[in-house]
Structure 1
Amino acid sequence: MTARALIIGAPRSGSGKTSVTIGLLRAFARRGVKVRGIKTGPDYIDSGFHEAATRLPGLNLDSWAMAPDLLRHLAREQAEDAELLLIESAMGLFDGIVTEPNRSGAASDLARLFGLPVLLVLDVSGQSQTAAAVACGFIHYDPAVKIAACILNRAGSERHRKLSGDAIEALGLPVVGTVLRDPTLILPERHLGLVQASEHPEMDAHIERLADAMERSLDLDAILAAAKPFDLPPGSPDRALPPPGQRIALAWDAAFTFLYPHIQREWRASGAEIVPFSPLADEAPPRDCDVCWLPGGYPELHAGKLAAAENFKAGLARFAAAKPVHGECGGYMVLGETLEDADGITHVMAGLLSHRTSFAKRRMNLGYRQAKLLAACPIGQTDETIRGHEFHYASVVSRGTDEPVATIADGTAREIGPSGGRRDLVSGTFFHAIARG
């Protein structure tokens, strides 16, 4: 492997990691560096921004959901033919769950497992020399996690930059640049986080602005020098999710976009063919496929159009009469009888399962999940444990009469209860599968 790699971390969410990472990815790509992005933790959206910035597929790595061998396997794949990997942390650098060593889900786990340095992004708005106390804490918190350099973000002035930067450099930590406060660099958000890259009408222009800001504000040569050669021992794909069929009909449009890049990659590597179709275009799953997969996304934003997609619903019912259909999160909502949108309007869905869901009655469900399957379905076999997560605001307002797909526990193995529904060849759950337990 010839790639170098660097983790981009911060004290908390909202520090500007994503904007800095996207801008750096495009800035290095402009220089002719073959750069790729990786996002830590369960996050569908940021890996899409990484792909938009580099025009190369993104990747998620999650140290809780993925065994170390799978992490190494996927990371080595992402590093093939790359010169630089920028690994963006979720939340704060050390934020994860309390569990076995290096399986917390925090980006710091990857710093230890892969022996990689960290580029620390500090939002210095509302402080000056105190930023050095924060940096000092990061330097000394875990000797196994090396903080290589620091970026000051959202500084208000040259004086502000000097006060913060001089105090940090007095600790011996290099400051490789300062990004001044600029509201035009902020990415748009919605209820599950950032608006997806594919939905932003001027995404490429925005990425160009971010790259301009990083080139203007940061020492790209110093950042590249801080990256460490990415030399990992071989891993194994054994704990990856196997393909649920030889030909997989995959719902894929603005309503269905949440399927991790590594899952599609490993399905293809195992010889499966993925055949996309668009429910929003009133397309049915192709009949010559072996299984139909409805991923998560934002069906609540398109509920009226999905309800009117009669060809899609009729074709899905014909498909489900003979072959397996599985829905995750948003896909699970569409498999139910009705979906109530944010305005309180109820829309008729596919009706292949008997539950009813509502986005009007919002309640956040967020966290790692261990799902023990009660019957075989496209995500695994009976009694198999699958690791993944939930992140949704929709609620089940009527559970219906279907048998549950799984019993689920949280990331620390605390039991939560039954999850999802299954009837004949149809299954669905709010749970997003990431890897085998």
Structure 2
Amino acid sequence: MPAALVISAPASGVGKTTLTLALARAWRHRGLNVQCFKSGPDYIDPAFHAAATGRASVNVDSWAMDRTTIAHLVSRGTDADIVLAEGSMGLFDGVAARGVSGTGATADIAEMLGWPVVLVIDPSGQAQTAAAIATGLRDYRAGVRLAGVVLNRVASPRHEDLVRRALNEAGITVFGALPRHAEISLPKRHLGLVQAEEQAEIGKLIDEAARFVAEHVDLDAVLNSAGKWSPQAAANDMSVTPPGQRIALARDAAFSFVYPHMLEAWRAAGAEIVPFSPLADEAPDASADVCWLPGGYPELHAGKIAANARFRSSLRAFAETRPVHGECGGYMVLGTGLTDADGISHELTGLLGLETSFAKRRMHLGYRLAELAAPMPGHRPGARLRGHEFHYSTILTQPDTPLAVVHDATGTVIAETGSRRGHATGTFFHLIAEDR
């Protein structure tokens, strides 16, 4: 029977990912099988989890997924010794309106699965107030159980002592305290961490994080605090219809934001995925029956994409007879043009009339519920799709027929409707699940 923990915090940027990776690698060094999950809509962290554990990690999301889907996804941890679910934002942070099985908060997953929470607390600029914050999080929701805390970025032994004393008086276990350590800082860019596959030294960085955490955190105490988990029986699939039987999938540094559980569901349904690299000027597989361009960082590579004539012409030829779909960055590349951060406009594939600008930056972030007005690969008209949008690009023009009526998590209709023209479709949201 595996043990399980949720790694969470009061807010973003406190050190959840670093601690998760360090614990996973440290326990792996001890010979334990470690399975990670990511709570919430983050398409970057699962790749870091896989690098730390050697096992694929997937997202679980209470706003977009029902309990059966979540149970199916976490059932991959039944053969692990320890399961770690990394949270997103703060422990109770979600949206105002409930989704399929919750608000998207990490606390939903902790309560639903009965997994205790380890809080990462950054007491910078605080002392005893850190204990008040931890106490408030412990007592905020009866169904969520706090195992203890790890202090991160403590300034000095005296600082640590003040915070420890306050937490001990509140009856909260302190598993360890980490001084500031720049060598294990993960590099970031505008959409989050620089992706694991872009960091040649990621293995060494995780090893250093594991060494550092093992030196300052009681790994045995953390492990002993984990809840014994008895997985419930779950359906052996996600009832997903793949977008095609043979899927040409754009996959490189510019096209990498796709949820791992979606790719797994497509394969489980019998689809074959054939990756290709637009950045390497490759064409989609000629024998594929659909082409899928996920999101990523096309705004950082717009000049190269625009210059890759073979990719652009082959994608246009593909779209003459077969469906092509783009998500977020992939949607932008299906458009007519993209203006980069320097104000330079780049001509893209022109399968859609969409024009976007990264020079005019504005954050678009949140859950999306779309009702399709027309079919897109794998989904019929009228289907209700749940996803998540996160980008900084601005729409200059979106002249094609709208693909869907799209609402945010509060039910407000938004302008990012997606587009369709001929065999090409695109959305700014990344698909997580379809309502059943």
TM-score, normalised to structure 2, is 0.97
Q: Distance in 1 between matches of 2:239 and 2:94?
A: 22
SS in 2 for 1:279: coil
Pick from 79, 89, 92 the counterpart of residue 81 of structure 1: 79
Aligned-pair distance for 1:240?
A: 5.1
Aligned-pair distance for 1:416?
A: 2.0
Instruction: State the AA in 2 paired with 1:427.
Output: T
Instruction: State the AA in 1 paired with 2:357.
Output: S
What is the root-mean-square deviation in Å for CA atoms of aligned residues?
Answer: 1.4
What is the aligned partner in structure 2 of residue 398 from structure 1? 397
SS in 2 for 1:210: helix
What is the aligned partner in structure 2 of residue 271 from structure 1? 270
What is the aligned partner in structure 2 of residue 203 from structure 1? 202
Aligned-pair distance for 1:230?
A: 2.2
Of the structure 1 ranges 414-423 and 328-337, higher mean CA displacement relative to structure 2 is found in 414-423
Of the structure 1 ranges 151-160 and 95-104, higher mean CA displacement relative to structure 2 is found in 95-104
Taking the TM superposition and a 5 Å limit, the aligned residue runs for 1:166-205 are 166-205=165-204
Aligned-pair distance for 1:336?
A: 0.5
What is the aligned partner in structure 2 of residue 249 from structure 1? 248
Give CA-to-partner distance per residue, 1:2-36, whole Å, 9 cap, x none. 32110011101111111111111111111111112
Give CA-to-partner distance per residue, 1:203-230, whole Å, 9 cap, x none. 1221111111111111111111111122
SS in 2 for 1:347: strand
Instruction: State the AA in 1 paired with 2:80.
Output: A
Aligned-pair distance for 1:114?
A: 0.5
Instruction: State the AA in 2 paired with 1:94.
Output: F
Give CA-to-partner distance per residue, 1:295-322, whole Å, 9 cap, x none. 0000111111111111111111111111
Instruction: State the AA in 2 paired with 1:224.
Output: L
SS in 1 for 2:144: coil
Give CA-to-partner distance per residue, 1:141-183, whole Å, 9 cap, x none. 1111000111111111122111111211122221111111122
Aligned-pair distance for 1:417?
A: 4.5
Give CA-to-partner distance per residue, 1:261-309, whole Å, 9 cap, x none. 1001111111111110111111110111111000000011111111111
What is the aligned partner in structure 1 of residue 430 from structure 2? 432
Instruction: Please list every run of 5 or more consecutive structure 1 residues that lacks an aligned counterpart in the other structure.
Output: none
Aligned-pair distance for 1:252?
A: 0.3
SS in 1 for 2:163: helix
Q: Distance in 1 between matches of 2:297 and 2:79?
A: 34
Instruction: State the AA in 2 paired with 1:168.
Output: L
Q: Distance in 1 between matches of 2:47 and 2:372?
A: 30
Note if contact 1:343-1:360 (Cα within 8 Å) is conserved in structure 2.
Answer: yes
Q: Distance in 2 between matches of 1:413 and 1:23?
A: 39
Instruction: State the AA in 2 paired with 1:303.
Output: A
Note if contact 1:241-1:434 (Cα within 8 Å) is conserved in structure 2.
Answer: no
Give CA-to-partner distance per residue, 1:27-71, whole Å, 9 cap, x none. 111111111211111111111111111122111111001111111
What is the aligned partner in structure 2 of residue 95 from structure 1? 93
For the pair 1:388 / 2:387, whether they are aligned, the reply is yes
Taking the TM superposition and a 5 Å limit, the aligned residue runs for 1:248-397 are 248-397=247-396
Note if contact 1:66-1:239 (Cα within 8 Å) is conserved in structure 2.
Answer: no
SS in 2 for 1:280: coil
Give CA-to-partner distance per residue, 1:326-376, whole Å, 9 cap, x none. 000000010011111111111111111111111111111000000000111
Q: Distance in 1 between matches of 2:31 and 2:434?
A: 37
Instruction: State the AA in 1 paired with 2:419.
Output: G
Note if contact 1:67-1:239 (Cα within 8 Å) is conserved in structure 2.
Answer: no
Instruction: State the AA in 1 paired with 2:14.
Output: S
Note if contact 2:416-2:428 (Cα within 8 Å) is conserved in structure 1.
Answer: no
Note if contact 2:365-2:389 (Cα within 8 Å) is conserved in structure 1.
Answer: yes
Note if contact 2:244-2:378 (Cα within 8 Å) is conserved in structure 1.
Answer: no
- Cα distance, 1:237–1:422 mapped onto 2, change above 3 Å: farther
Aligned-pair distance for 1:379?
A: 4.7
Instruction: State the AA in 1 paired with 2:363.
Output: M
Q: Distance in 2 between matches of 1:266 and 1:62?
A: 16
Note if contact 2:38-2:85 (Cα within 8 Å) is conserved in structure 1.
Answer: yes
What is the aligned partner in structure 2 of residue 155 from structure 1? 154
Q: Distance in 2 between matches of 1:290 and 1:80?
A: 36
Q: Distance in 1 between matches of 2:71 and 2:296?
A: 28
Of the structure 1 ranges 137-146 and 101-110, higher mean CA displacement relative to structure 2 is found in 101-110
Aligned-pair distance for 1:414?
A: 2.1
Of the structure 1 ranges 376-385 and 326-335, higher mean CA displacement relative to structure 2 is found in 376-385
Note if contact 1:95-1:106 (Cα within 8 Å) is conserved in structure 2.
Answer: yes
Between the aligned residues of both structures, percent identity stands at 51
TM-score, normalised to structure 1, is 0.97
What is the aligned partner in structure 2 of residue 126 from structure 1? 125
Q: Distance in 2 between matches of 1:54 and 1:421?
A: 39
Instruction: State the AA in 2 paired with 1:288.
Output: S
Of the structure 1 ranges 39-48 and 98-107, higher mean CA displacement relative to structure 2 is found in 98-107
What is the aligned partner in structure 2 of residue 142 from structure 1? 141
Note if contact 2:138-2:146 (Cα within 8 Å) is conserved in structure 1.
Answer: yes
Aligned-pair distance for 1:260?
A: 0.4
Instruction: Please list every run of 5 or more consecutive structure 2 residues that lacks an aligned counterpart in the other structure.
Output: none
Pick from 409, 412, 418 the counterpart of residue 410 of structure 2: 412
Give CA-to-partner distance per residue, 1:59-87, whole Å, 9 cap, x none. 1111001111111111112x142211111
Q: Distance in 2 between matches of 1:395 and 1:55?
A: 38
Note if contact 2:107-2:144 (Cα within 8 Å) is conserved in structure 1.
Answer: yes
SS in 2 for 1:176: strand
What is the aligned partner in structure 2 of residue 59 from structure 1? 58
